[in-house]
Structures are given as structure tokens and as C-alpha cells.
Chains A and B, each alone.
Chain A
Amino acid sequence: MPAPTDDPFTRAGFPLTEAERARLAEPAALLEALLARVRDGAGQGEPAVIFVPPAAPRP
């Protein structure tokens, strides 16, 4: 079994090159802030229907 890693890209199955890791450091931090906003904003105990697009029933 491979050793566990703290790197989220490697954990997700997409190991980065050093150059990619450097370039993605800032945007990954920006994304983490967005995801934190989503986690905080979603709340708990929501009903199972999560989004209904404005489309009528189909035949």
C-alpha cells in the first residue's frame, strides 16, 4: 500500500510536478477559501431535493 500523503492533488490521484505545484499554490488557496464559504453557507439538515432547474416535467 502506498504511503499516505498530505498532498491533496496526490491523494486525488493527480500528482503534480514541482512547477505545477508552485503555480497552483495561490489558486489552490483561493479555491479553499471558496470551498470554506460553501461549507459554511450550506448549513445542515437540508431537504433531499437540492436543486430543481426551472424545467417542466418531460414526456
Chain B
Amino acid sequence: MSAVPTIAEAARAIAARSLSPVELMRDCIGRVERLEPTLHAFVALDGERAMEAARNAEARIMRDGPRGPLDGIPVAHKDIVDVAGLPTTACSHILVGNVATRDAAVVRRWAEAGAISLGKLTTHEFAWGGPSFDLPTPPARNPWNPEHFTAGSSSGTGAAVASGMILGGTGSDTGGSIRGPAALCGLAGIKPTYGLVPRTGVVPLAWSMDHVGPLAWTVEDCALLLQAAAGHDPEDPGSAARPVPDLVSGLGGGVKGLRIGVVRHFHETDVQVSPATRRGIDEAARLFGELGASVRDVTLPPLAEFWAPGMTLLLGEAFAVHAHWVRTQREKYGEILRERLLLGALISGEHIIAAQRMRRRLAEAVGTVMRDVDLLLTAAAMGEAPRIDAVDRWIGFKTPSLTIPFNLTGQPALTVCSGLGEGGLPVAIQLAGRPWEDTTVLRAGHAYEQVRGALKRPAP
């Protein structure tokens, strides 16, 4: 079995006819067969259909050339994302037997670009309840060390991409569910600007904070996947009708002249991240400076000021999504999500309005700071992945989240791996940009990756 290529590498090789989409898919399926018993990344494998699609893609590419950089690329989708003909269970007993009849918008768009779906990936229950051991399928494991947590909720996507089962996959991010698994699994993952990628065909968690986006091995791969997913869809009321930016062609433009604000108080004072995470941020700031960016510290409202309205809205909206099922079949939920949802019954209209008021003020405060800087730099996670059996199920209620501020504001935010920590597991930085400046975020992340150097894949 050959080494795992990035999407960009595979695309170049496919276009040059030096890589067969069939061989690429066969390699990915081989890794699934070898690693799935340990990693539990997939809840539904669609191998036969994927191999058939790869054979068709190969014949078409040999005849006509590739449609673009995703043609023949193996991907998979989080199990809250509809793929026609496959179950969408959200990894919950509630939805067992629910088979999707049409593709989600992101699935359809990736397929139109030539990407081939290998199946459905493990998620925390309804994208919020894990790691749980009482669901229809077990939680995903971290390929860097299967005794450790992937973070969530896009847990299967993190595990599958890091281990090379697929080259990219879908995630969703309501409070950090793309950026968390990307951080703990050593990947790149972007939560795009709210409205850039439609959520049509994706099970909601909290409508006003839900984002769909990609996880992949590199920032460049994320850009390729995001480019194909972006664009208005009138079926999603949160989808913006505006031109899709070119996210790819300017990737190599570097950071010279960009102004980067380090939100040091987020990760040093408001919460204290691990020493390796802190070193990674400091080193990234130094590298950005060497590349020609101006880097200085900036001050935003304290992390807890974002966390409180973020959790209030998440709980309140999630409760609205689930109230009927909580009333009628509460026992079917896993214990963790059931108890979180019950807490949602305590959220009142007064709380929701107060949280939205805070949200508007916070978005304005961040916007004011970002008149003087183009990007914000901070941590994406507290540190390396904990053991999966040592995750505090209420940690989200005890410690402010480093990721939820940008779900509140809707800004694009990217996680990039900054290396390995003392325990040999990945740590990461987070870059956030102004709304609709996803291109700038990706360009800076790509520039950082080039000077950070390539990372070895885990060998679970």
C-alpha cells in the first residue's frame, strides 16, 4: 500500500495519469479494513459503490481528463450529513432506520466535482453528545493513540482523515466540532463564514451557530474542498446569496503585509493551554513575522463573555430541535446527550434574548479590533488529546471554549496543526479572519504550513 497523498498531490497525479483513482480508492479501502476495528471511524461503509464510482471516474478521466482537483478523490461524510441511499442516524438510537432519500448540498456539490464518497463517519450523538459508549456504534478513536480522544463532534472525520482512510471529509461546527477534531487529530479544518456553505440536508444542532466545512490533512486540501462546497442554496435560510470567492488560486500569496493579532489572553489568562500549545502559537507568531506579517497582541472581551451566550444559545436551540423527542422517547438518547438536552429545558426566552444581545455586542467588539488586524491567532484546543476514558462530560460547562467565539460571530476560523506535544500527540493553532475573508485565513494557514514543515502521518 502506498503512502497517503494529499488531495492536491493526488489530483496532480491523477491529472498526469500517474495515479489511478481505482488504485487510490483500493488503498483507502485497504486502510479502512485494517484500521476500522481499532478506530471506529465509519458507521456505514459504501465500498462497492465507491469502487464502481472509481472505475467510472478512471474511464472518464482517461477519456476526457479530470473535472477538477476533486475528481476521483475518496471522501466520506459525517453521519449527520445526508447521502442518498445510506442511513443518517446521527449515531443515535433515535434515528436508527432513517435512510436519506437525497444528498445534502455539500455531498451533491463534492460529487459533482468528482469526489467519491466512501460512506458515513462517526459523530458524537446529534453532533453534541460524546464520547458516548451507549450509542448504536462506538466512539471513534484517535489514530495517534487509540486510547485517546479524537475530540468531537466530527470525530470519525478526524480519525478517518488522519489515518488516511479518506483524503478529506465533512464536518460540522456549532461550538468547535470541526476545529476540535482537527486539532486533536493533527489536521487542518475550517469553519467557514456563516452562510458560505449551505446546511441543506444536514441534521441541525443549533441553527444560528451551525456551520458545515471540511477537514483534511493540509490547508490547501481544505481550500479545495471548501471551494467545491461553497455557494448559495435557497433551501438553507442561513445561506448567503453572494458570489463565491476564489479560495484556491491565491493560496500561495503569503502573508507579507498582513496584520496578525495574537489574542494572548484567550489562551494564557482566560484559560491556560498546555506548554506545547503555547509554544506552537508563539512559534507561529514568530514565523508569520519572518514571512513579512506584522504581529502584535490584541485584546478582545474575555473568553468567558463569549462562552456564556454561546452555551446558552447552543443549549436553547438544541433543545428546540430535540424537544419533541425528549418528550416522547427520552430513553433512546445516550446518557450524555439526554442530560445535556434536559438542561436545555431550563433556558428561557429571557436567556435567549440576553444571549443574542451579548452576541451582537461581542461581534461588534471583535469587528472593532479587526479594523486594525486582518487575522486573529490563538489556540484551537487546550492541549493534546486526553484519554478517551478520562473525558469530563461536563467540561464544556466548566471551562470556556476557545472555539465558540467564532461560532457566535460567524467569522471564518481555521485550525492548523503546530506539531506534537510532550505526549506525542498533536497540538494546534487557530486563525480567524473577518467575515467573508475565508481566503485570507486559508492563505495564512497555508503559508504557515509551508514553513512549519510536513508532518508524518500517525501509525496506529
Contact = CB atoms under 8 A, between A and B. Distances in A.
Given A35-B312, A56-B242, A59-B234, A23 B358 contact: no
B308 A56 contact: no
User: Which secondary structure characterizes the binding site on chain B?
Assistant: helix
Contacts of B409: 54
Interface residues of B, number: 47
Contacts of A38: 308-309, 312, 351, 354-355, 358
B358 A41 contact: yes
B356 A57 contact: no
Interface string A20-59: 1001101110111011011101110010011111111111
B307 interface: yes
Given A50-B360, A58-B234, A27 B339 contact: yes
A4 interface: no
B440 to A, nearest CB: 14
Contact of B339 (A8, A20, A30, A58): A20
Given A37-B304, A38-B355, A55 B346 contact: no
B8 interface: no
B61 interface: no
Contacts of B345: 8-9, 12-14
A59 B238 CA distance: 13
A55 B193 CA distance: 9
Given A38-B355, A50-B357, A54-B193, A27 B343 contact: yes
Given A20-B339, A38-B358, A54-B195, 14 more contacts: A27-B397, A30-B397, A30-B398, A34-B312, A35-B346, A37-B305, A38-B309, A41-B305, A50-B357, A51-B359, A53-B410, A54-B409, A54-B435, A58-B237
Closest 4 CB pairs of A and B: A54-B435, A42-B354, A55-B240, A50-B356
Interface of A: 8-9, 12-14, 16, 20, 23-24, 26-28, 30-32, 34-35, 37-39, 41-43, 46, 49-59
